[in-house]
């Protein structure tokens, strides 16, 4: 078995089975997940590019009521399609024009039948690699592994895949079961959408990959689209909290009395000395958390009342 970037488990069958079973047991219900009609799926993919999925549902249904297939859309006046797009706040109006042009291409160049492979689907006007692959996957079960922002986040966290497009493509492709792009791509995107969002919900969503997940094991949930949080230990945030906690035990303290209680390495003239502590307490004073007064020899700090 080919060695993959990151820490992908050797038992890929178990990884695949766990995700598919999790998805099939329960997932968000969207009407385009209940169809394998390429036209209907293309419309949903184009609409979803700029709009939250919950809002797309009604617009998608109304669009199909009005133009139920490629032939109906091709026969429509493009201005009517654009007007519909605008009325439903579906993002850039060019996408409505692209859909209309693509419908005409299906009739003129493909005899009314949608192309089925990602490469062929990209020949349709305005259809890029991601949309082409989604239609090939969900309409014809003939797509490649989807690699979008959510999928990258999942793979980076779960299997420590490096933040590199080629690595993501390699791992995503190796994990997808042969001939199952429809269920697999839906499942891994669902995982990124409900369990492995920027703020993870591993246990609440019953993430099926917890037993293999590097992030779940280490507690480090950073990802390509989730900036690394600064270490809390020794951070300014931690020191601010210590100042407030110390002052909760004392009425008022001069800087040199407060300093050693905040940092054991406090030295009046050192790196973490009076100048450093003065900046810290003045920030807290600006936030209204402490009061700062001039004492006989130094500043005196207390909690704000």
Could you give all domains of the chain from N- to C-terminal order, each with its CATH number?
1-225 (1.10.340.30), 236-303 (1.10.10.10)
| pLDDT band at residue 244 using 50, 70 and 90 as cut-offs | confident
Type and span of the H or E element at 108: helix 94-109
Query: Which of 110-124, 162-176, 225-239 is predicted with the least confidence, judged by mean pLDDT?
Result: 225-239
Helix and strand numbers, DSSP H then E, in the chain: 15, 3
Neighbouring-strand partners of residue 303 = 290
d(CA 237, CA 282): 14
HEC string of 220-286 equals: CCCECCECCCCCCCCCHHHHHHHHHHHHHHCCEEEHHHHHHHHCCCCCCCCCCCHHHHHHHHHHHHH
- Report, as an integer, the average pLDDT of 215-220: 88
Q: Which of 212, 55, 41 is nearest to 136 (CA)?
A: 41
| pLDDT band at residue 22 using 50, 70 and 90 as cut-offs | very high
d(CA 186, CA 208): 15
Angle at alpha carbon of residue 116, lines to 110 and 119, rounded to 5°: 95
- Report, as an integer, the average pLDDT of 240-253: 84
**Which residues are tagged catalytic?**
45
The reported pLDDT for the residue numbered 6 is 81
In this structure, the number of other CB atoms found within 10 A of the CB of residue 174 comes to 14
Burial letters 113-148, b for 16+ CB under 10 A, else e: ebbbebeebbebebbeeebbbbbbbbbbbbbbbbbb
Burial class (CB in 10 A: 0-12, 13-18, 19+), 40: buried
Q: In what order do the strands lie in the sheet with 290-294?
A: 252-254, 299-303, 290-294
| pLDDT band at residue 156 using 50, 70 and 90 as cut-offs | very high
Contact (CB, 8 A) for 196 and 149 = no
Better-predicted residue by pLDDT, 276 or 226: 276
Tokens of 262: 């905040």
Check residue 267 and give left, alpha or beta (phi > 0: left; psi -120 to 50: alpha): beta
In this structure, the number of other CB atoms found within 10 A of the CB of residue 295 comes to 13
| pLDDT band at residue 1 using 50, 70 and 90 as cut-offs | low
45-87 pLDDT per residue, tens: 999 886 777 788 999 999 999 999 999 999 999 999 999 998 8
Type and span of the H or E element at 65: helix 53-66
């Amino acid at each position: 078995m080919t060695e993959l970037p990151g820490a992908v488990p050797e038992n890929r069958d178990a990884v695949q089975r766990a995700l598919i079973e999790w998805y099939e047991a329960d997932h968000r219900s969207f009407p385009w997940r209940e169809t394998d009609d390429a036209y209907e799926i293309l419309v949903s993919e184009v609409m979803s590019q700029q709009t939250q999925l919950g809002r797309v549902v009604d617009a998608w249904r109304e669009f199909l009521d009005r133009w139920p297939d490629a032939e109906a859309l091709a026969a429509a006046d493009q201005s009517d399609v654009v007007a519909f797009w605008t009325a439903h706040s579906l993002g850039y109006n060019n996408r409505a024009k692209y859909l209309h042009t693509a419908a005409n291409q299906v009739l003129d160049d493909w005899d009314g039948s949608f192309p089925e492979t990602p490469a062929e689907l990209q020949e349709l006007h305005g259809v890029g690699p991601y949309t082409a692959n989604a239609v090939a996957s969900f309409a014809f079960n003939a797509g490649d592994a989807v690699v979008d922002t959510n999928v990258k986040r999942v793979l980076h966290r779960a299997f420590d895949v490096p933040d590199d497009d080629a690595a993501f493509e390699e791992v995503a492709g190796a994990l997808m079961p042969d001939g199952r792009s429809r269920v697999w791509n839906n499942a891994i995107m669902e995982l990124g959408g409900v369990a492995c969002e920027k703020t993870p919900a591993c246990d609440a969503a019953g993430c099926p990959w917890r037993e293999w997940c590097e992030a779940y094991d280490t507690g480090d949930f950073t990802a390509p689209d989730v900036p690394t949080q600064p270490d809390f230990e020794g951070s300014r945030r931690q020191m601010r909290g210590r100042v407030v906690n110390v002052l909760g035990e004392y009425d008022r303290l001069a800087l040199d009395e407060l300093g050693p209680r905040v940092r054991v390495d406090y030295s009046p003239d050192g790196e973490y000395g009076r100048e450093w502590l003065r900046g810290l307490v003045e920030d807290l004073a600006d936030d209204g958390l402490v009061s700062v007064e001039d004492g006989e020899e130094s500043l005196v700090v207390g909690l704000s009342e």
